[in-house]
Amino acid sequence: MSNNGTTAFVKVFLVFVAASILTLAAFGVGVSVGVRAASPPASSRQLQPVVTVESAPLPTVTFIPTVPASIPTPATPLPTPTEEPIAPTIKPAPTAGNSTKKSGPSGLDTALFEEVWKLLQEQFYGELPESKEVTYNAIRGLVERLGDQNTAFVDPKQAALFNSDMQGQFEGIGAGVELAEGGGVRIRYLFAGQPAEKSGVQVGDVIIAVDGKDITKLNLTEAISLIRGPKDSRVVLTIRREGQQPLDITVTRARIEIPTVTTKTLGEGKIAHIALSEFSSVAPARLADAMKEALAAKPAGLILDLRGNPGGLLDSAVRIGSYFVPEGNIVIERTKDGKERIFRRQGSFLLGKTPLVVLIDAGSASASEIVAGAIQDVGSGVLIGEKTFGKGSVQVPNNLSDGSQLRVTIARWFTPKNRGIHGTGLQPDIVVPLTKEDVAAKRDPQLDRAVEYLLKGK
């Protein structure tokens, strides 16, 4: 389709979007945080990660009514309203100039859209996109007009990628990415021993093309869908690296198990360090195992490292938060009409009397902020590092009939002491910045300060 043709189509399409704005409420009625083969239940809620990475985008969240006093067990969904959002459909258009307004239950004027589509088919000089893509673009345009970056529509391929990540594994190159200034995606981190690292990709590299296709104008989701692919398949990444000409690196994709939990000892073996990369479905059990093993050695203190953790499942956040909060609530969910739901701690309190430091930074978001906020409110640990991202909204993933997904923001959450996080973030108790110079020199003053605090008590 030519640029002029695309422009003409977009102009006409905007007429449909403008007419559709009045029906936005229909997408939020009865609708309450990458790839899972099965569709999530209608009652699922999620905390969408703010920093989408190749390894962990949008999870499905299931609330759990009870958790045994030992190792967490699979969640049981709670019932929620089942009314589905209404999406526009395309039917044979009436003759131009003789349109009869047709409205669905939402009041959406589908006849106008059908009239426009028929006129384009009859009159437009050039190629038109397939009807399925027209429908997708119409939905995307409608959703984008809401002005909420966390309410989104994704096609079946993107939905499948996102759903599988929350099971702790995916097929791809083994890297976490973020949007780069000027376009493309920047490598945030590499999984040790995985294809990207083995092929010579470096942290800080910016991918600007995939198999020769320019991705500098794509959004993060679209770029990720090109980078990822079946194991044993090859992908050519065109890399922009500081101080060098663009270079091509060929990577053979593999099936990657996300290292949800990593552990080590610091301070001459006196301090236990546990880093949690995401709040996936497997995270509560893996963290519980790591904590029990670490605390059995009776360390002088424990460091929970949530830096760069973009979030994940709400029920995982509640279960993990309960390991560190002896009593009371973990999070409060509140809708725009003031209704709220309180999520109380569940299951075993694993921390005991061990002193705790939680490391946070601007990459700590969503579920990370739920856990860190609950710990800070109850006083069971000290937060060290930098202010968190400030993502405190809840999305419902609605699985549509063709495998695509509509994620709708339905509520915001607050800490047990009613502190709002959305747009503000959590302030650490002890501020310790991490500069680019620190990273380049492989220094970690935040971790060093955490060890010092636990050894000296200040």
What residues are labeled active site? 366, 377, 391
Question: How many angstroms separate the Cα of 79 from the Cα of each of 62, 111, 167, 184, 253?
Answer: 10, 35, 23, 41, 39
Q: How far apart are the C-alpha atoms of 172 and 230, rounded to whole Å?
A: 7
> For residues 425 and 409, what is the distance between their CA atoms, to the nearest angstrom?
18
Q: Which backbone phi and psi does 357 adopt, to 5 degrees?
A: -120, 135
Determine the distance from the C-alpha atom of residue 215 to the mean position of all C-alpha atoms in its chain, rounded to a whole number: 20
Rounded to 5 degrees, φ, ψ at 437 are -65, -40
Bridge partners, 30 (sequence order): none
101-114: buried (b, 16+ CB within 10 Å) or exposed (e) per residue? eeeeebebbbbbbb
Task: Report the distance separating Cα 422 and Cα 413, nearest Å.
Answer: 8
CA distance 32 to 60: 12
Neighbours of 401 (CB within 10 A): 7
For residue 103, the number of C-alpha atoms closer than 13 Å in the C-beta half-sphere is 10
**Among 55, 74, 15, CA closest to 284:** 74
Phi-psi domain of 354 (left: phi exceeds 0; alpha: psi -120 through 50; beta: other): beta
What DSSP designation does 426 have?
Answer: P
Burial-class residue 115 by CB neighbours within 10 Å (0-12, 13-18, 19+). Answer: buried
The C-alpha atoms of residue 25 and residue 333 are separated, in whole angstroms, by: 20
Is 56 within 8 Å of 337 (Cβ atoms)? Answer: no
- Cα 343 to Cα 402: distance, rounded to the nearest angstrom: 33
d(CA 423, CA 148): 12
